[in-house]
Structure 1
Amino acid sequence: MPQLDTSTWFITIMSMLVTLFFMFQLKVSKYHFPENPEPKLEAKSKSTAPWEEKWTKIYFPLSLPL
């Protein structure tokens, strides 16, 4: 029964790992990541209606005195 020759396994596995590393680096290098992400500033809208500027109390019909 012939023996399995394992003398080339080390170089095969190492070359495979190096190849996978370079392929992964090439894939990742194609993406453009933002250098300094900053939150967007939201513009505050001015209220144009008079009832939006002042506080008003809302009465529910069931909470009114009888």
Structure 2
Amino acid sequence: MPQLNTTTWPTIITPMLLALFLITQLKLLNSHLHPPTPPKFTKPKLHAKPWGPKWTKVYLPHSLPPQY
């Protein structure tokens, strides 16, 4: 069975990697990356609540003693 000749592999792989590197660099240079837009700060709108404060009481579980 003949042996695989690997003496030319470095001469093929090195220019291939160089070409891939150059192609990716050119693609990155030609891509138009837009700067991020600054966030717009808006004031939160205060909505009138249809319920009164008497309906917003927080109830504790039955296992805890009542807090006054």
Q: TM-score, normalised by structure 1?
A: 0.51
**1:18 aligned residue:** 18
Runs of at least 5 residues in structure 1 that lack an aligned partner in the other structure: 45-54
| Residue identity in the other structure for 1:6 | T
- SS in structure 2 of the partner of residue 24 of structure 1: helix
The aligned counterpart of 2:50 is 58
SS in 2 for 1:10: helix
Unaligned runs of 5+ in 2: 56-68
> How far is 1:40 from its partner?
5.1
Q: What is the alpha-carbon distance in structure 2 between the residues aligned to residue 21 and residue 30 of structure 1?
A: 14
1:9 — aligned with what?
9
RMSD of equivalent CA atoms? 3.1
Q: Which has the higher helix share?
A: 1
Deviations 1:3-58 (A, max 9, x none): 211100011111110010011011111112246x45155687xxxxxxxxxx8663
Q: 1:57 to 1:29 in 2, by over 3 A?
A: closer
Q: Which residue of 1 aligns with 2:28?
A: 28
Q: How many corresponding residue pairs?
A: 51
